[in-house]
Amino acid sequence: MANIEGERAKHRAAQIDSIKRVASHLIAEKGADGLSLRAVAREIGVVSSALYRYFANRDELLTALIYDAYNDLGASVERSEARISRSDCRRRWAVTCRAVRRWARSHPHEFSLLYGTPVPGYRAPKTTIEAASRVVIVMGEILSDSTIASSHGRSVRRSRDVAAFLDVDGLARILPGVPEDFYVRALMAWTLIFGSISFELFGHYVGSVNSPGRLFDEVVEELGELLGI
């Protein structure tokens, strides 16, 4: 009985992987808004009802793809950052940012699914938050370690009531030890890193930037200065 159950589990896992591979291929070809279980079933060569054993609807399939992509990105960044000495916060920052860009360039359709135009009618469930937070947590740990190690560059333009417009409790979990007045800079850095990558991948630098890689390195360096890392 145990062998039978094990084989069934393997078969189910293989089928799910096959469905997700085909769905990813369709997204790369037609975009996420064109994804449907019917289209996936047509590509696989089965009736669409067969897919409902694995995914209740299109949104559940999209969620699985998003969850996998966030975890793949997070794992890639974590591996790269872990190779650097804990005391070298500036290098950890640079390596982390470049790892995000490297993954995005290798997985442009997955990056677009995560950070591009929202899919009409789809709302990611809270179950994706942990996976989505992995890269942000790595960046937050670097900033926190840098804050603890040195107060250089920590002055801010003015004191402000950040609780009036930020989720300070959520940010405190990501940025332990970082003063609340510094949260705006941290969010600026996060936005600029992912925004720069998006501009590169989606062609917004055409006619203004000759070397997106060199520009990205400059952005990373400038942000390191801004953050006092």
pTM, to two decimals: 0.90
Domain range 1-56, its CATH number among 3.30.160.250, 1.10.357.10, 1.10.10.60, 3.20.20.70: 1.10.10.60
Helices 183-201 and 89-106: angle between axes, nearest 10 degrees? 30
pLDDT for 151: 56
Give ∠ CA 194-136-13 in degrees, rounded to 5: 95
pLDDT number for residue 153: 47
What one-character-per-residue DSSP string does 102-165 give?
HHHHH-HHHHHHHHSSPPTT----GGGHHHHTHHHHHHHHHHHHHHHH--TT---SS---GGGT
Q: What are phi and psi of 85, to 5 degrees?
A: -55, 135
The CATH architecture one would assign to domain 68-227 is: Orthogonal Bundle (1.10)
Joined tokens for residue 73: 């990105």
pLDDT of residue 156: 54
Tokens linked to 173: 């979990």
Please, what are the averages of pLDDT over each run of 10 residues along the chain (229 residues)?
73 93 95 93 91 95 98 98 97 99 98 94 93 95 84 55 92 87 91 98 97 98 93
- The reported pLDDT for the residue numbered 150 is 65
Contact 192, 219 (CB under 8 A): yes
The residues spanned by each domain of the chain are: 1-56, 68-227
pLDDT of residue 8: 80
Q: What is the pLDDT of residue 161?
A: 86
